[in-house]
């Protein structure tokens, strides 16, 4: 990932204390934490869902992935309550 390389090689940042984001930014926060778990200390994702919950969907409906992610995310949150 070029962004990670930029942080490491140009700015000398080796450890990220927090990746944080809202909605699509939350997806980016997960995107940083998943491939670099030893380099990201914490992740705060607001109204986002890790794409690993997304099953393979073959459809012309471009909203289907968002609907599935939202439904699965809501189910996970409800299970925690």
Q: Give the total residue count for the chain.
A: 81
- 33 or 8, greater pLDDT: 8
pLDDT at residue 13 is higher than 80: yes
Domain extents for the chain? 1-48, 50-81
Radius of gyration of the chain (CA): 15
Q: What is the torsion angle, in degrees rounded to the nearest 10, for the CA atoms of residue 71, residue 74, residue 75 and residue 81?
A: -170
Which residues in 55-64 are b (16+ Cβ under 10 Å) and which e? eeeeeeeeee
pLDDT digit string, tens, across residues 25-51: 777 787 788 788 888 888 887 776 655
Q: Which of residues 34 and 70 earns the better pLDDT score?
A: 34
> Which pLDDT belongs to residue 12?
92
Whole-model pTM over 0.95: no
User: For residues 19 and 40, what is the distance between their CA atoms, to the nearest angstrom?
Assistant: 7
Q: CA angle, corner 1, sides to 73 and 72, nearest 5?
A: 10
């Amino acid at each position: 990932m070029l962004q990670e390389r930029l942080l490491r090689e140009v700015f000398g940042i080796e450890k990220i204390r927090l990746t944080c984001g809202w909605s699509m930014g939350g997806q980016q926060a997960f995107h940083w934490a998943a491939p670099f778990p030893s380099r990201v200390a914490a992740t705060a994702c607001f109204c986002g869902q890790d794409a690993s919950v997304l099953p393979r969907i073959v459809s012309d409906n471009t909203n289907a992935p968002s609907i599935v992610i939202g439904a699965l995310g809501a189910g996970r949150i409800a299970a925690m309550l």
